[in-house]
Amino acid sequence: MGHGFGQLYKLRGIITYRLSPFEQKAFAGIISHGVPNTIRRISESFLYVVPPLALGYIIYDQVEKEHHRLMLKNPADYENDQ
């Protein structure tokens, strides 16, 4: 057989055209299509990502503040020490 993978069959009556990967433009349309698509995808997922992250940060911050407050010693307990 001697053919490479993907060349092991014979198509009759069907014409196929291929463009070599070396002849393609790797970054074709990256500015005109890629940047607007990225902005659209970020804006669509914004409401799914930001509120849980904000809520998680607020909870974490409050827990850390409360932990720090509970770890402090009460100065009133040591008033009469000499």
6-18, pLDDT tens digit by residue? 666 677 787 777 8
Q: Coil, strand or helix: which one is 2?
A: coil
Both tokens of 63, joined, read 């827990």
Model pLDDT for residues 16-64, shown as the tens digit of each residue: 778 787 887 888 888 999 999 999 999 999 999 999 999 999 999 999 9
- CB contact set of 1 (below 8 Å; sequence gap of 6+): 8
Place of tokens 């010693």: 73
**Which residues span the domain enclosing 61?**
47-72
Q: Is residue 21 a part of any domain in this protein? A: no
How many domains, in total, are found in the chain?
1
Q: Is residue 8 a part of any domain in this protein? A: no
Residue 1 · residue 8 · CB < 8 Å: yes
What pTM does this model have?
0.56
Q: Is residue 61 a part of any domain in this protein? A: yes
